[in-house]
Structure 1
């Protein structure tokens, strides 16, 4: 009985061991897992005119800035303008003491009158001597001497007139007029001070504000482009911004102007070319000495196929995009003719093609895609910079 029980236990162990070995070594069943679609976002290619821009840092310059200085020595008697006042060209700004100059002018006029009276008498005598010399009433020598006296008195009258003109010029210097239309700067001299021509500081400055200019530098490679813009019939537009942002919602446009000139040489030390743009500045947002960012329109790409940079992928040898074809994607090689941080201009696709804009990392040729719920977006690219 005991032997039979032992045999049953041995047989049962062998059966359990055989089942375990079979379970571990049997071939696994192959399960077919359906491939899942890759979620992507897409954009539709559109055709649009794309302006190209170049940006640079510039400084605002007045087209005409004058330091007002005296042209004669004298006491400042009146200041007729205030600091910060807008003045017009020719407007009286200040006056100097003119009493000594007026006295010199009156003296010169008196001397001219005396010389004119003497000349009148000499001319009468010359006329008489001429008649007498015809009948030998006076000698030829006497007549020649009288002629010399007339010439001498004529020269004296001219000298007196020159002295009068010089005194009038000196008198005009006692009234200081504005040579330009602009804004008066901070005054450095008060009424009652004695002014000298040698004073370097001057009374104040008058600076033209409207119109105004911006001078900026660009890389020397831009020289042909700038030359074409200068030679064009229509002046190239130039915008001036506060700060580096020229496209975003925080962009602060200060003025719109046009390219006016480029410098006649390239800087050998920096490899840049200087240029200047002119702006109307009625609102006075541009101020002399201010640093601004200038944005120049250099060209317009007509009917360009514009896409955001995220759409274009870089392959081993070329660029490509994923184009949606039904519920799958195709790989389409493209050529990038222009690119910057905001847009790419490409060739190789057609208007209306739906391209993948997000989710490319999991895509391969022929992969199924699941376009996210929002409708395909049309490409709305920012202007090229």
Structure 2
């Protein structure tokens, strides 16, 4: 059977030989930096690529035909619902309204005259001076005029509406984009070319997907009513741009990709998120309590499994196999094999073996790194710079 760490040691021995410092052929201590394993909370994040989507996107079109005579907005400005955006030449619609109002007035006068005739005919019919048919004809004429007037009133209302539609207003609050038509163009009713597009960006949404294997943990928390925090990071994953909450999820898994669509909501008060922008999404579904944490740089991999070098006293290190849980760029959760307070080697591991002599070169700024927090401090002047490794991201085991 192999002893712990033999596989990891064999690779180093083949590369450097036994006569190099730290490999048993010399008593020179290897300079290392160490940090203690700590106990604390570790947030569980699910990462995905997201697309920013406006809460509402409106293509503003004219409802009536005519010449575009004026634009009232500046490209890119914010508008409120009801703000005047553009105007279509209203003259033909003003004429149509006057015609409808004139026809209505004419028929109202005819109705009034017909009603007076009915009153006279009723008196004459009571005196048996006219036939019943004459009275019936007069009453029927009144009813006809009443129906005609309703039609005329509808025509007036339609003409007023068309005239009002010549002044195009913002249907929602938001930010206008670039104009699509210039003043002087003829537009048709409900033309396919919009005058301008308005996007509602406060609040704004980010759509993303998660694989089927992650759904159970996320959906179970979502259905409890908890507001699951969501972070939007830039494409380089170096700067967090906004924080929001999980707002909704789709009702079926995409069979082609095995993923489910989610949507997060961001207030976007500073408008740093733009529609159709790509962002890196981090959904925090849970937080591990009282987890054993070590800097990710301390975790090593060998043929026997995952391990760390633990300081044994002040002068030697021993190799410890362990099991890991979730990790990020700075911290890794240890589920088995390590206790809080044990000091693990961060830098200088490439020259170590089980039982090797070491010299701790930490300065006073060295502190344990928690989730999302980089280890501070630098090696002192005695540190062998060739023994210092840069931190790299490691996968979960």
Settle same-fold status: TM greater than 0.5.
Answer: yes
Aligned to 1:252: 239
Distance 1:230 1:131 in 2: 80
Structure 1 residue 357 displacement after superposition: 4.2
RMSD after superposition: 3.2
**Which structure 2 residues correspond to residues 163-174 of structure 1 after superposition, within 5 A?**
163-174=155-166
- State the match for 2:362 in structure 1: 374
1:93 counterpart = 2:88: no
Asked which structure has the greater CA Rg, the reply is 1
Q: Mark the CA change 1:38 to 1:99 in structure 2 (over 3 Å): closer, same or farther.
A: same
Tell me the equivalent position of 2:203.
Answer: 211
Any unmatched runs of 5+ in structure 2? 1-23, 374-395
- 1:271, CA displacement in angstroms? 2.3
Q: For this pair of structures, how many residues does the alignment match? A: 346
Residue segments in structure 1 that go unaligned for 5+ positions in a row: 1-32, 246-250
Answer yes or no: is 1:346 the counterpart of 2:334: yes
Match of 2:265 in 1: 278
Q: Write out per-residue CA displacement over residues 26-68 of structure 1, whole angstroms, 9 at most, x where no aligned residue.
A: xxxxxxx999596454321211111121222222222222222
Matched residue SS, 1:304: strand
- 1:83 to 2:75 alignment: yes
Rounded to whole Å, the distance in 1 between the matches of 2:234 and 2:321 is: 41
- How far apart, in 2, do the equivalents of 1:212 and 1:34 lie? 64
Once the 2 structures are TM-superposed, how far is the Cα of residue 306 of structure 1 from its aligned partner? 1.0
Sort the Cα spacing of 1:370 and 1:296 in 2 relative to 1 into closer, same or farther, 3 A. Answer: same
Name the residue aligned to 1:264: 251
Aligned to 1:30: none
Counting only pairs closer than 5 Å after superposition, residues 94-173 of structure 1 correspond to structure 2 as 94-130=86-122, 133=125, 136-173=128-165
Partner SS state of residue 288, structure 1: coil
Tell which deviates more after alignment, 132-141 or 256-265. 132-141
Match of 1:242 among 234, 237, 242: 234
CA displacement, residues 9-29 of structure 1 (integer Å, 9 cap, x when unaligned):
xxxxxxxxxxxxxxxxxxxxx
